[in-house]
Amino acid sequence: MHRPEIYELLAREHEEIDELFHELLAAKGKLAAELLARVRLKLVPHSRAEEAVFYLRLQEDERTAEKVRVSLEEHKQVENLLGELVAMSPRDDNWAARARVLADMVGHHVDEEEGELFPLARRVLDPHEAQRLGAAFETERDRVWEYILGQQRGAA
């Protein structure tokens, strides 16, 4: 059985998130709000699991520690802007502009991560460890996803 390395899992989710952003930026009104909720439900568990598994391990190595610090700051900025968007109405004049900025921020982050951090990480992690981190990432992502769904059910 093929156990994917963490890079494969992250890249696949990056593509899914990018597709959601394309749909979001083309949407209006209630559909835009629904798509934003889908973006949040995909992006937040991804980011939190990435931090708890991938970044945590890469912080231990001087070759990747600085890139991880930058990535963590980008995650904070993305989550802050995502929170602002969730609190706004898609009918707000600034909503579409903020959604575009959020999509651009995430796109920039993904480009840096896949183009710069992944190659460095491949020097730090052997393939077996990358597979182990992939499995741990999936477990943590699913845990965070369930937590967020539980919060949404409780708030409804």
Q: What is the pLDDT along the chain (156 residues), one digit of tens a residue?
A: 789 999 999 999 999 999 999 999 999 999 999 999 999 999 999 999 999 999 999 999 999 999 999 999 999 999 999 999 999 999 999 999 999 999 999 999 999 999 999 999 999 999 999 999 999 999 999 999 999 888 877 765
- What total of structural domains would you count in the chain? 1
pTM for the predicted model, two decimal places: 0.93
Distance CA 95, CA 92 (A): 5
Q: How many CA atoms does the CB half-sphere of 6 hold within 13 Å?
A: 33
With respect to residue 16, please indicate whether it lies within any of the assigned structural domains. Answer: yes
Q: What is the CATH number of the domain that holds 79?
A: 1.20.120.520
Q: Which two tokens stand for residue 150?
A: 């539980």
Give the residue numbers spanning the domain of 139: 6-155
Contact, 124 vs 39, CB < 8 A?
A: no
With respect to residue 110, please indicate whether it lies within any of the assigned structural domains. Answer: yes
With respect to residue 1, please indicate whether it lies within any of the assigned structural domains. Answer: no
With respect to residue 132, please indicate whether it lies within any of the assigned structural domains. Answer: yes
Beta-carbon contacts of residue 105 (< 8 Å; ≥ 6 apart): 74, 77, 78, 81
With respect to residue 32, please indicate whether it lies within any of the assigned structural domains. Answer: yes
